[in-house]
Structure 1
Amino acid sequence: MQWNALAEALFGPHHGLKADGDLVLGTARLDGAELTVIGTTHHAAIGVHLALAQAHAVLETVRSHPSRPILLLIDTQGQQLRRRDELLGINRAMAHLGLCLDFARRQGHRVLGLVYDQALSGGFITSGLIADACYALPEAEIRVMRLPAMARITKLPEAQLEALSHDNPVFAPGVGNYVAMGGVQALWQGDLAQALRDALVHAPRSDERAEAGRARGGRRLAAEVVDRVLQAA
Protein backbone atom coordinates (compact mmCIF):
# COMPACT_ATOMS: atom_id res chain seq x y z
CA MET A 1 0.00 0.00 0.00
CA GLN A 2 1.25 3.51 -0.83
CA TRP A 3 1.66 5.89 2.10
CA ASN A 4 -0.99 8.34 0.83
CA ALA A 5 -3.58 5.55 0.44
CA LEU A 6 -2.75 4.40 3.96
CA ALA A 7 -3.08 7.95 5.31
CA GLU A 8 -6.48 8.29 3.67
CA ALA A 9 -7.62 4.96 5.12
CA LEU A 10 -6.52 6.05 8.58
CA PHE A 11 -7.51 9.72 8.62
CA GLY A 12 -9.66 10.44 5.56
CA PRO A 13 -8.85 12.39 2.38
CA HIS A 14 -7.79 15.56 4.24
CA HIS A 15 -5.17 13.79 6.33
CA GLY A 16 -2.61 16.61 6.44
CA LEU A 17 0.43 14.43 5.75
CA LYS A 18 3.07 15.29 3.17
CA ALA A 19 6.11 13.54 1.74
CA ASP A 20 9.45 15.28 1.39
CA GLY A 21 11.67 12.81 -0.40
CA ASP A 22 11.65 9.66 1.72
CA LEU A 23 10.22 11.40 4.80
CA VAL A 24 6.48 11.45 5.52
CA LEU A 25 5.43 13.97 8.13
CA GLY A 26 2.41 15.85 9.39
CA THR A 27 -0.33 16.32 11.93
CA ALA A 28 -3.41 14.16 11.43
CA ARG A 29 -6.75 14.07 13.23
CA LEU A 30 -8.64 11.04 14.46
CA ASP A 31 -12.02 11.68 16.07
CA GLY A 32 -11.00 15.31 16.59
CA ALA A 33 -7.75 14.45 18.41
CA GLU A 34 -4.37 15.28 16.88
CA LEU A 35 -1.56 12.81 16.22
CA THR A 36 1.96 13.44 14.99
CA VAL A 37 2.69 11.09 12.10
CA ILE A 38 6.31 10.42 11.21
CA GLY A 39 7.08 7.96 8.47
CA THR A 40 9.27 6.82 5.63
CA THR A 41 8.47 5.75 2.09
CA HIS A 42 10.12 4.46 -1.11
CA HIS A 43 11.75 1.64 0.92
CA ALA A 44 13.86 4.37 2.47
CA ALA A 45 17.44 3.69 3.47
CA ILE A 46 17.86 5.41 6.84
CA GLY A 47 20.92 7.61 6.69
CA VAL A 48 22.12 10.32 9.04
CA HIS A 49 19.93 13.01 7.48
CA LEU A 50 16.72 10.97 7.60
CA ALA A 51 17.34 9.65 11.12
CA LEU A 52 17.96 13.15 12.46
CA ALA A 53 14.92 14.55 10.62
CA GLN A 54 12.71 11.96 12.32
CA ALA A 55 14.33 12.62 15.68
CA HIS A 56 13.73 16.35 15.27
CA ALA A 57 10.03 15.72 14.58
CA VAL A 58 9.77 13.61 17.74
CA LEU A 59 11.44 16.26 19.92
CA GLU A 60 9.35 19.02 18.38
CA THR A 61 6.22 17.09 19.30
CA VAL A 62 7.43 16.64 22.89
CA ARG A 63 8.28 20.35 23.12
CA SER A 64 5.17 21.81 21.50
CA HIS A 65 2.44 19.19 21.92
CA PRO A 66 2.61 17.47 25.32
CA SER A 67 1.05 13.99 25.45
CA ARG A 68 0.13 13.98 21.75
CA PRO A 69 0.32 10.42 20.33
CA ILE A 70 3.02 9.64 17.77
CA LEU A 71 2.40 7.20 14.92
CA LEU A 72 5.37 5.83 12.99
CA LEU A 73 4.64 4.67 9.43
CA ILE A 74 7.42 2.28 8.48
CA ASP A 75 8.77 1.45 5.03
CA THR A 76 12.53 0.97 5.11
CA GLN A 77 15.26 -1.21 3.65
CA GLY A 78 17.42 -0.62 6.74
CA GLN A 79 20.28 1.74 7.36
CA GLN A 80 22.04 3.60 4.56
CA LEU A 81 25.14 1.64 3.51
CA ARG A 82 27.33 4.51 2.38
CA ARG A 83 30.80 5.53 3.47
CA ARG A 84 29.60 9.11 4.01
CA ASP A 85 26.93 8.05 6.52
CA GLU A 86 29.32 5.69 8.27
CA LEU A 87 31.89 8.50 8.64
CA LEU A 88 29.19 10.87 9.95
CA GLY A 89 28.18 8.30 12.56
CA ILE A 90 25.02 6.60 11.31
CA ASN A 91 25.08 4.37 14.40
CA ARG A 92 24.86 7.41 16.68
CA ALA A 93 22.16 9.07 14.57
CA MET A 94 19.99 5.96 14.68
CA ALA A 95 20.62 5.52 18.39
CA HIS A 96 19.63 9.18 18.86
CA LEU A 97 16.33 8.50 17.08
CA GLY A 98 15.67 5.54 19.34
CA LEU A 99 16.46 7.58 22.44
CA CYS A 100 14.14 10.37 21.29
CA LEU A 101 11.27 7.91 20.90
CA ASP A 102 11.95 6.48 24.34
CA PHE A 103 12.12 10.02 25.77
CA ALA A 104 8.74 10.82 24.20
CA ARG A 105 7.22 7.73 25.77
CA ARG A 106 8.63 8.67 29.19
CA GLN A 107 7.06 12.11 28.79
CA GLY A 108 3.61 10.58 28.37
CA HIS A 109 3.33 10.25 24.57
CA ARG A 110 1.82 7.09 23.13
CA VAL A 111 4.23 5.81 20.46
CA LEU A 112 2.85 3.32 17.95
CA GLY A 113 4.51 1.78 14.92
CA LEU A 114 2.82 0.49 11.77
CA VAL A 115 4.75 -1.45 9.12
CA TYR A 116 2.78 -0.80 5.95
CA ASP A 117 5.27 -1.95 3.32
CA GLN A 118 8.78 -3.14 4.17
CA ALA A 119 10.77 -3.22 7.41
CA LEU A 120 14.34 -4.42 7.42
CA SER A 121 17.29 -4.40 9.76
CA GLY A 122 18.34 -1.31 11.74
CA GLY A 123 15.70 0.94 10.20
CA PHE A 124 13.05 -1.25 11.86
CA ILE A 125 14.91 -1.75 15.14
CA THR A 126 15.15 1.99 15.81
CA SER A 127 11.54 2.73 14.90
CA GLY A 128 8.79 0.13 15.15
CA LEU A 129 10.58 -2.11 17.62
CA ILE A 130 11.10 0.83 20.00
CA ALA A 131 7.44 1.89 19.93
CA ASP A 132 5.04 1.00 22.74
CA ALA A 133 3.63 -1.50 20.28
CA CYS A 134 4.29 -2.27 16.63
CA TYR A 135 1.58 -3.37 14.21
CA ALA A 136 1.68 -4.38 10.55
CA LEU A 137 -0.49 -4.77 7.49
CA PRO A 138 -0.84 -8.40 6.35
CA GLU A 139 0.93 -7.73 3.05
CA ALA A 140 3.93 -6.06 4.70
CA GLU A 141 7.38 -7.64 4.62
CA ILE A 142 9.48 -7.81 7.77
CA ARG A 143 12.91 -9.32 8.28
CA VAL A 144 16.08 -8.38 10.09
CA MET A 145 18.55 -10.59 8.25
CA ARG A 146 18.35 -12.76 5.14
CA LEU A 147 19.29 -16.40 5.59
CA PRO A 148 22.53 -16.13 3.51
CA ALA A 149 23.73 -13.29 5.77
CA MET A 150 22.62 -15.22 8.84
CA ALA A 151 24.63 -18.21 7.63
CA ARG A 152 27.75 -16.08 7.30
CA ILE A 153 27.31 -14.65 10.80
CA THR A 154 26.39 -17.87 12.63
CA LYS A 155 28.75 -20.09 10.56
CA LEU A 156 25.84 -22.53 10.12
CA PRO A 157 25.02 -24.00 6.69
CA GLU A 158 22.31 -22.06 4.88
CA ALA A 159 20.44 -25.33 4.24
CA GLN A 160 20.29 -25.97 7.98
CA LEU A 161 18.93 -22.49 8.64
CA GLU A 162 16.39 -22.95 5.83
CA ALA A 163 15.19 -26.16 7.48
CA LEU A 164 14.99 -24.47 10.88
CA SER A 165 12.96 -21.60 9.42
CA HIS A 166 10.06 -23.93 8.62
CA ASP A 167 9.41 -24.64 12.30
CA ASN A 168 11.06 -21.79 14.18
CA PRO A 169 9.87 -18.19 13.61
CA VAL A 170 13.20 -16.80 14.83
CA PHE A 171 14.85 -17.98 11.61
CA ALA A 172 12.10 -16.97 9.20
CA PRO A 173 10.97 -13.65 7.70
CA GLY A 174 7.33 -12.60 7.37
CA VAL A 175 4.80 -10.67 9.43
CA GLY A 176 3.16 -13.84 10.75
CA ASN A 177 6.44 -14.97 12.29
CA TYR A 178 6.99 -11.57 13.91
CA VAL A 179 3.51 -11.76 15.42
CA ALA A 180 4.38 -15.21 16.78
CA MET A 181 7.62 -13.88 18.29
CA GLY A 182 5.83 -10.92 19.89
CA GLY A 183 7.70 -8.28 17.93
CA VAL A 184 4.49 -7.32 16.14
CA GLN A 185 1.51 -6.89 18.42
CA ALA A 186 -1.13 -7.66 15.78
CA LEU A 187 -2.03 -7.30 12.12
CA TRP A 188 -4.37 -4.49 11.06
CA GLN A 189 -7.05 -5.55 8.60
CA GLY A 190 -10.36 -4.10 7.47
CA ASP A 191 -11.15 -0.78 9.15
CA LEU A 192 -7.67 0.68 9.71
CA ALA A 193 -8.99 3.77 11.50
CA GLN A 194 -10.76 1.56 14.03
CA ALA A 195 -7.60 -0.51 14.46
CA LEU A 196 -5.71 2.69 15.29
CA ARG A 197 -8.41 3.74 17.78
CA ASP A 198 -8.15 0.39 19.52
CA ALA A 199 -4.35 0.53 19.61
CA LEU A 200 -4.32 4.00 21.15
CA VAL A 201 -6.42 2.65 24.00
CA HIS A 202 -5.19 -0.91 24.43
CA ALA A 203 -1.54 -0.98 23.29
CA PRO A 204 0.70 -2.11 26.16
CA ARG A 205 2.63 0.53 28.08
CA SER A 206 5.33 -1.88 29.18
CA ASP A 207 7.47 -4.25 27.12
CA GLU A 208 5.42 -7.44 26.85
CA ARG A 209 7.11 -8.87 23.76
CA ALA A 210 8.90 -11.72 25.52
CA GLU A 211 5.70 -12.80 27.26
CA ALA A 212 3.75 -12.54 24.01
CA GLY A 213 6.37 -14.64 22.25
CA ARG A 214 6.10 -17.31 24.92
CA ALA A 215 2.29 -17.34 24.81
CA ARG A 216 2.25 -17.50 21.00
CA GLY A 217 4.94 -20.16 20.78
CA GLY A 218 7.33 -18.08 18.72
CA ARG A 219 9.97 -17.35 21.39
CA ARG A 220 9.59 -19.98 24.05
CA LEU A 221 12.59 -19.16 26.25
CA ALA A 222 13.03 -15.37 26.07
CA ALA A 223 10.62 -14.59 28.93
CA GLU A 224 12.14 -17.33 31.07
CA VAL A 225 15.65 -15.96 30.53
CA VAL A 226 14.45 -12.44 31.41
CA ASP A 227 12.84 -13.76 34.61
CA ARG A 228 16.02 -15.58 35.63
CA VAL A 229 18.18 -12.51 35.01
CA LEU A 230 15.83 -10.33 37.07
CA GLN A 231 15.82 -12.84 39.92
CA ALA A 232 19.61 -12.96 39.91
CA ALA A 233 20.00 -9.17 39.85
Structure 2
Amino acid sequence: MTLDEILQSLFPDGHDIARTDGLLSGSATMKGGAVAAVIGVEGRAPLGVDGALKLGGHVLDALERGGDAPVIVLVDSDSQRMSKRDELLGLNEFLAHLAKGLILADLRGRPTVGILYGHTAAGAFIATALATRVLVGLPGAEPEVMDLPSMARVTKLSVEVLTEKARSTPVFAPGLDNLARTGGVLETWDPSKPLADQLAAVLGRADTRDRRDALGKERGGRPKAADIAERVRELATRAG
Protein backbone atom coordinates (compact mmCIF):
# COMPACT_ATOMS: atom_id res chain seq x y z
CA MET A 1 0.00 0.00 0.00
CA THR A 2 1.14 3.53 -0.71
CA LEU A 3 1.10 6.09 2.08
CA ASP A 4 -1.89 7.83 0.48
CA GLU A 5 -3.80 4.55 0.44
CA ILE A 6 -2.88 3.87 4.05
CA LEU A 7 -4.04 7.30 5.20
CA GLN A 8 -7.30 6.98 3.29
CA SER A 9 -7.99 3.55 4.77
CA LEU A 10 -7.01 4.62 8.30
CA PHE A 11 -8.85 7.94 8.28
CA PRO A 12 -11.75 7.85 5.79
CA ASP A 13 -13.33 10.84 7.57
CA GLY A 14 -10.34 13.01 6.73
CA HIS A 15 -6.99 14.13 8.03
CA ASP A 16 -4.73 17.16 8.17
CA ILE A 17 -1.28 15.62 7.95
CA ALA A 18 1.64 17.67 6.64
CA ARG A 19 4.38 15.88 4.69
CA THR A 20 7.63 17.82 4.79
CA ASP A 21 11.19 16.58 4.19
CA GLY A 22 10.22 12.99 4.89
CA LEU A 23 8.33 13.80 8.10
CA LEU A 24 4.63 13.42 8.87
CA SER A 25 2.84 15.54 11.45
CA GLY A 26 -0.73 16.60 11.98
CA SER A 27 -4.06 15.21 13.07
CA ALA A 28 -6.73 12.88 11.76
CA THR A 29 -10.35 12.01 12.47
CA MET A 30 -10.74 8.43 13.58
CA LYS A 31 -13.69 6.12 13.34
CA GLY A 32 -16.03 7.32 16.09
CA GLY A 33 -14.99 10.96 15.79
CA ALA A 34 -11.92 11.19 18.03
CA VAL A 35 -9.12 13.33 16.62
CA ALA A 36 -5.77 11.55 16.84
CA ALA A 37 -2.35 13.16 16.73
CA VAL A 38 -0.27 11.70 13.91
CA ILE A 39 3.49 11.73 13.42
CA GLY A 40 5.82 9.64 11.32
CA VAL A 41 8.51 9.23 8.72
CA GLU A 42 8.00 8.49 5.03
CA GLY A 43 10.05 7.65 1.99
CA ARG A 44 12.76 5.85 3.95
CA ALA A 45 14.08 9.18 5.23
CA PRO A 46 16.77 9.10 7.93
CA LEU A 47 15.81 10.59 11.28
CA GLY A 48 18.17 13.29 12.50
CA VAL A 49 18.27 15.97 15.17
CA ASP A 50 15.89 18.34 13.40
CA GLY A 51 13.36 15.65 12.56
CA ALA A 52 13.35 14.13 16.04
CA LEU A 53 12.89 17.57 17.57
CA LYS A 54 9.98 18.38 15.25
CA LEU A 55 8.18 15.08 15.85
CA GLY A 56 8.78 15.25 19.59
CA GLY A 57 7.43 18.78 19.65
CA HIS A 58 4.27 17.68 17.88
CA VAL A 59 3.67 14.98 20.51
CA LEU A 60 4.17 17.49 23.34
CA ASP A 61 1.85 19.98 21.63
CA ALA A 62 -0.82 17.28 21.49
CA LEU A 63 -0.38 16.63 25.20
CA GLU A 64 -0.70 20.36 25.92
CA ARG A 65 -4.02 20.44 24.10
CA GLY A 66 -5.28 17.65 26.36
CA GLY A 67 -7.73 14.86 25.65
CA ASP A 68 -7.31 11.12 25.48
CA ALA A 69 -7.24 10.46 21.74
CA PRO A 70 -4.44 8.21 20.47
CA VAL A 71 -1.08 9.19 19.04
CA ILE A 72 -0.45 7.32 15.78
CA VAL A 73 3.12 6.82 14.54
CA LEU A 74 3.56 5.83 10.88
CA VAL A 75 7.02 4.52 10.03
CA ASP A 76 8.94 4.11 6.78
CA SER A 77 12.43 5.35 7.62
CA ASP A 78 16.08 4.70 7.18
CA SER A 79 18.14 4.51 10.36
CA GLN A 80 19.18 7.58 12.33
CA ARG A 81 20.91 10.24 10.23
CA MET A 82 24.58 9.36 9.89
CA SER A 83 26.13 12.81 9.83
CA LYS A 84 28.90 14.45 11.81
CA ARG A 85 26.66 17.43 12.59
CA ASP A 86 23.90 15.28 14.08
CA GLU A 87 26.34 13.23 16.13
CA LEU A 88 28.13 16.31 17.50
CA LEU A 89 24.79 17.88 18.46
CA GLY A 90 23.91 14.76 20.47
CA LEU A 91 21.56 12.87 18.18
CA ASN A 92 21.08 10.13 20.79
CA GLU A 93 19.57 12.68 23.19
CA PHE A 94 17.17 14.01 20.55
CA LEU A 95 16.03 10.50 19.67
CA ALA A 96 15.59 9.78 23.38
CA HIS A 97 13.53 12.99 23.69
CA LEU A 98 11.15 11.75 21.00
CA ALA A 99 10.87 8.29 22.57
CA LYS A 100 10.24 9.74 26.02
CA GLY A 101 7.54 12.01 24.60
CA LEU A 102 5.70 8.97 23.24
CA ILE A 103 6.11 7.13 26.53
CA LEU A 104 4.80 10.19 28.40
CA ALA A 105 1.75 10.30 26.12
CA ASP A 106 1.04 6.67 26.95
CA LEU A 107 1.43 7.31 30.69
CA ARG A 108 -1.01 10.21 30.44
CA GLY A 109 -3.70 8.05 28.91
CA ARG A 110 -3.04 8.76 25.23
CA PRO A 111 -2.67 5.31 23.62
CA THR A 112 0.29 5.20 21.25
CA VAL A 113 0.13 2.94 18.19
CA GLY A 114 3.02 2.43 15.82
CA ILE A 115 2.31 1.29 12.26
CA LEU A 116 5.20 -0.15 10.26
CA TYR A 117 4.46 0.20 6.57
CA GLY A 118 7.96 0.32 5.07
CA HIS A 119 11.57 0.06 6.16
CA THR A 120 13.04 1.13 9.50
CA ALA A 121 16.23 0.45 11.38
CA ALA A 122 18.41 1.23 14.36
CA GLY A 123 17.92 4.45 16.33
CA ALA A 124 15.07 5.72 14.18
CA PHE A 125 13.22 2.46 14.74
CA ILE A 126 13.75 2.57 18.51
CA ALA A 127 12.70 6.23 18.86
CA THR A 128 9.48 5.85 16.87
CA ALA A 129 7.86 2.44 16.40
CA LEU A 130 9.44 0.66 19.36
CA ALA A 131 8.58 3.54 21.71
CA THR A 132 4.84 3.06 21.19
CA ARG A 133 2.60 0.98 23.45
CA VAL A 134 1.37 -1.17 20.55
CA LEU A 135 3.18 -1.88 17.30
CA VAL A 136 1.53 -3.38 14.23
CA GLY A 137 2.81 -4.02 10.73
CA LEU A 138 1.59 -4.10 7.17
CA PRO A 139 2.71 -6.86 4.80
CA GLY A 140 6.02 -5.98 3.18
CA ALA A 141 7.32 -3.92 6.09
CA GLU A 142 11.08 -4.31 6.61
CA PRO A 143 12.12 -3.60 10.21
CA GLU A 144 15.60 -4.36 11.50
CA VAL A 145 17.01 -3.21 14.81
CA MET A 146 20.47 -3.76 13.34
CA ASP A 147 21.48 -5.30 10.04
CA LEU A 148 23.76 -8.31 10.16
CA PRO A 149 26.92 -6.56 8.79
CA SER A 150 26.59 -3.90 11.52
CA MET A 151 25.90 -6.58 14.12
CA ALA A 152 29.02 -8.40 12.98
CA ARG A 153 31.14 -5.30 13.58
CA VAL A 154 29.73 -4.87 17.09
CA THR A 155 29.79 -8.52 18.20
CA LYS A 156 33.02 -9.44 16.35
CA LEU A 157 31.20 -12.49 14.99
CA SER A 158 31.23 -13.15 11.27
CA VAL A 159 28.22 -12.44 9.09
CA GLU A 160 28.15 -16.15 8.28
CA VAL A 161 27.87 -17.07 11.99
CA LEU A 162 25.16 -14.48 12.55
CA THR A 163 23.26 -15.62 9.45
CA GLU A 164 23.24 -19.15 10.82
CA LYS A 165 22.06 -17.96 14.24
CA ALA A 166 19.33 -15.88 12.59
CA ARG A 167 17.79 -19.04 11.13
CA SER A 168 16.85 -20.30 14.59
CA THR A 169 16.96 -17.19 16.80
CA PRO A 170 14.63 -14.35 15.76
CA VAL A 171 16.44 -11.71 17.84
CA PHE A 172 19.34 -11.97 15.41
CA ALA A 173 17.18 -11.72 12.33
CA PRO A 174 15.62 -8.76 10.51
CA GLY A 175 12.09 -8.81 9.13
CA LEU A 176 8.48 -8.41 10.19
CA ASP A 177 7.88 -12.10 10.96
CA ASN A 178 10.93 -12.31 13.21
CA LEU A 179 9.98 -9.15 15.07
CA ALA A 180 6.50 -10.58 15.60
CA ARG A 181 7.98 -13.79 17.00
CA THR A 182 9.92 -11.81 19.59
CA GLY A 183 6.71 -10.01 20.61
CA GLY A 184 7.78 -6.67 19.20
CA VAL A 185 4.95 -6.60 16.66
CA LEU A 186 1.50 -7.38 18.01
CA GLU A 187 -0.07 -8.32 14.68
CA THR A 188 0.10 -7.83 10.93
CA TRP A 189 -2.89 -6.08 9.44
CA ASP A 190 -4.82 -7.16 6.36
CA PRO A 191 -4.58 -4.37 3.75
CA SER A 192 -7.64 -5.71 1.92
CA LYS A 193 -9.81 -4.70 4.89
CA PRO A 194 -10.39 -1.17 6.25
CA LEU A 195 -7.43 -0.16 8.39
CA ALA A 196 -9.74 2.10 10.43
CA ASP A 197 -11.58 -0.97 11.71
CA GLN A 198 -8.35 -2.79 12.51
CA LEU A 199 -7.03 0.25 14.38
CA ALA A 200 -10.25 0.49 16.38
CA ALA A 201 -10.01 -3.20 17.27
CA VAL A 202 -6.44 -2.82 18.51
CA LEU A 203 -7.35 0.21 20.59
CA GLY A 204 -10.40 -1.58 21.96
CA ARG A 205 -8.34 -4.37 23.48
CA ALA A 206 -5.22 -2.36 24.38
CA ASP A 207 -3.51 -3.64 27.53
CA THR A 208 -2.21 -1.19 30.11
CA ARG A 209 0.75 -3.54 30.69
CA ASP A 210 3.63 -3.98 28.30
CA ARG A 211 3.16 -7.61 27.23
CA ARG A 212 5.87 -7.83 24.60
CA ASP A 213 8.02 -10.12 26.72
CA ALA A 214 5.05 -12.44 27.34
CA LEU A 215 4.20 -12.47 23.63
CA GLY A 216 7.80 -13.33 22.81
CA LYS A 217 7.59 -16.29 25.18
CA GLU A 218 4.24 -17.46 23.79
CA ARG A 219 5.51 -17.24 20.21
CA GLY A 220 8.84 -18.90 20.94
CA GLY A 221 10.97 -16.03 19.73
CA ARG A 222 12.15 -14.68 23.09
CA PRO A 223 11.74 -17.48 25.64
CA LYS A 224 13.63 -16.00 28.60
CA ALA A 225 12.67 -12.32 28.81
CA ALA A 226 9.29 -12.71 30.52
CA ASP A 227 10.63 -15.07 33.20
CA ILE A 228 13.61 -12.83 33.91
CA ALA A 229 11.41 -9.74 34.13
CA GLU A 230 9.08 -11.52 36.55
CA ARG A 231 12.02 -12.61 38.70
CA VAL A 232 13.32 -9.05 38.83
CA ARG A 233 9.86 -7.84 39.92
CA GLU A 234 9.75 -10.47 42.67
CA LEU A 235 13.17 -9.46 43.99
CA ALA A 236 12.31 -5.77 43.81
CA THR A 237 9.08 -6.37 45.73
CA ARG A 238 10.91 -8.26 48.47
CA ALA A 239 13.58 -5.57 48.74
CA GLY A 240 10.88 -2.91 49.02
TM-score tier (shorter)? over 0.9
Which residue of 2 is the match for residue 203 of structure 1? 206
- How far apart in 2 are the matches of 1:71 and 1:123? 16
Contact 2:13/2:29 (<8 A) preserved = no
Residue 214 of structure 1 aligns with an amino acid whose one-letter code is: K
Contact 1:101/1:111 (<8 A) preserved = yes
Shift of 1:77: 0.9
- How far apart in 2 are the matches of 1:95 and 1:18? 23
Which residue of 2 is the match for residue 73 of structure 1? 74
Residue 197 of structure 1 aligns with an amino acid whose one-letter code is: A
- Structure 1 residues without counterparts, runs of 5 or longer: none
Secondary structure class of the residue paired with 1:231: helix
Shift of 1:13: 7.4
State the number of aligned residues.
Answer: 233
Identity of aligned residues (%): 36
Which residue of 2 is the match for residue 27 of structure 1? 27
- How far apart in 2 are the matches of 1:227 and 1:30? 36
> 1:33-92 CA deviation, whole Å, 9 max, x = no partner?
211111111112111100010011001100013212110001111111101111111111
- How far apart in 2 are the matches of 1:51 and 1:230? 33
- How far apart in 2 are the matches of 1:46 and 1:75? 10
After TM superposition, list the pairs within 5 Å mapping 1:127-138 onto structure 2: 127-138=128-139
Which residue of 1 is the match for residue 15 of structure 2? 15
Secondary structure class of the residue paired with 2:43: coil
Normalising to structure 1: TM-score of the pair? 0.96
Normalising to structure 2: TM-score of the pair? 0.93
Residue 154 of structure 2 aligns with an amino acid whose one-letter code is: I
Shift of 1:161: 1.2
- Structure 2 residues without counterparts, runs of 5 or longer: none
Which residue of 2 is the match for residue 169 of structure 1? 170
- Runs of 4+ with deviation above 4 angstroms: none
